[in-house]
Amino acid sequence: MFTLLRIVNWFIQGQPLIDNKRARNRSLALFYGLVAVYLCILWTQCPISWAQWCLLPILGSLLAYWLFSGVRFYILLLVYGVILSFVFVRLATDDVARWNVFLTTEFDVTDVALDDYPQLDKTFYEEKTAELQSHGFRWLADWENQPQSKAFPELTTVCRCLVHADGTIAVGVGQLRFIRQKNDFEKTFDVRIIEFSTEFSDGLILHTADSQGINPIESVEGIVLQQFPPGTATDRLLQHHRTKLEELLADGSRTVRCISDKHDLFAASYRAHEIFCQDRRQKGLLTDAEIERMTAQAGAGKKLASSYLKAFRKQAGTGDAATVDTVEGVPSP
């Protein structure tokens, strides 16, 4: 209550909120203590009502006034650091485990029907399909990506696959969506992505998508990756893809591997998956820059990002340094 009264006094009279070392220690203790409590509640998924969430700051103020001063304050910082380190290790362990499942699961797809996924926006798929058909694309399949589904079982990974009439460009229309209920909170993840792809005779792959700010990975050895902001117009994405395609064909050293049916599409997707996985093994799953970008997108500060980076590196190790040139012997879908 002492801290709350000081805040009110600061708003009314303009007096400094923290005017001595002891008050400063109490205020900092309140902040760190509440953060630690909230993290513990979220991590353990302890059931708690909205009223209890609102009472926590008041209880924290009383604890800060009666307990957290002098040496107790530094003890609190130590306890907070231990709890935070434990939380980051748990998060990093879960993320590394998901990556390992993705990398060790052989690429495969399952034919699905959109009607079996009521949580997806069928209108989005139909509108994009009609738009792409007006640009000369034809429908091939609706697939569920098995490695992604096993690594992220709570995430719907259905992709509508189309190919251009000349077979040079394939496109995937996907909505990644899940709703997770935690306590009184509902967390929704909903991303819509359009991905254009072309494979060349030398194994190089051109990939163009509106995944900027969503996908933290910006470079893959063997894949030319172009990313644009989410919601970029489909015709603009296609234009960028074709411009880069002509640039990569200009020197005459490579040709396009055309796609004519589902088997060709599966083979191209299989090779792209293997190239991506090999690149991730060489880089230890994620590079430091990619982890920093990912944590920044999640709103984490530099110190939190650094803690997560250390925990992730400790769990992931250095990765596999083996190399592979071109993936052959593609199984049938």
Report the percent of the chain where pLDDT is more than 90: 35
**Residue 309: per-residue pLDDT:** 78
Q: At 8, is the pLDDT very low, low, confident or very high (cuts 50, 70, 90)?
A: very low
Q: At 332, is the pLDDT very low, low, confident or very high (cuts 50, 70, 90)?
A: very low
**Residue 316: per-residue pLDDT:** 78
**Residue 58: per-residue pLDDT:** 56
Q: Please enumerate, as own/partner, the contacts of 229-237 that have beta carbons within 8 Å and a separation of 24 or more.
A: 230/191, 230/192, 230/193, 232/194, 234/128, 234/131, 234/132, 234/135, 234/194, 235/131, 235/135, 237/194, 237/196, 237/208, 237/209, 237/210
**Residue 177: per-residue pLDDT:** 76
**Residue 164: per-residue pLDDT:** 96
Write the pLDDT tens digit of every residue in 194-244. Answer: 999 999 999 999 999 998 878 878 889 999 999 999 889 999 999 999 999
Backbone angles phi, psi at 305, to 5 degrees: -65, -40
- Pick from 115-124, 254-263, 271-280, 304-313: least confident: 304-313
Residue 95 CB partners (closer than 8 Å, separation 6+): 312, 315
Q: Is the pLDDT of residue 158 over 80?
A: yes
- Pick from 27-31, 113-117, 139-143, 147-151: least confident: 27-31
**Residue 274: per-residue pLDDT:** 92
Q: Is the pLDDT of residue 166 over 70?
A: yes
Domain ranges of the chain: 2-99, 100-316
- Pick from 4-8, 50-54, 124-128, 167-171: least confident: 4-8
> Is the Cβ–Cβ distance between 256 and 246 less than 8 Å?
no
Write the pLDDT tens digit of every residue in 45-92. Answer: 555 555 555 555 555 555 555 554 555 555 655 666 666 667 767 777
**Residue 2: per-residue pLDDT:** 44
As a whole number of Å, the end-to-end CA separation of the chain is 65
pLDDT, averaged across the chain: 76
Q: At 180, is the pLDDT very low, low, confident or very high (cuts 50, 70, 90)?
A: low
**Residue 112: per-residue pLDDT:** 92
Q: Is the pLDDT of residue 331 over 70?
A: no
Q: At 320, is the pLDDT very low, low, confident or very high (cuts 50, 70, 90)?
A: very low
Which residue, among 214, 186, 190, has the nearest Cα to 121 in the 3D structure?
190
Average pLDDT over residues 252-269: 94
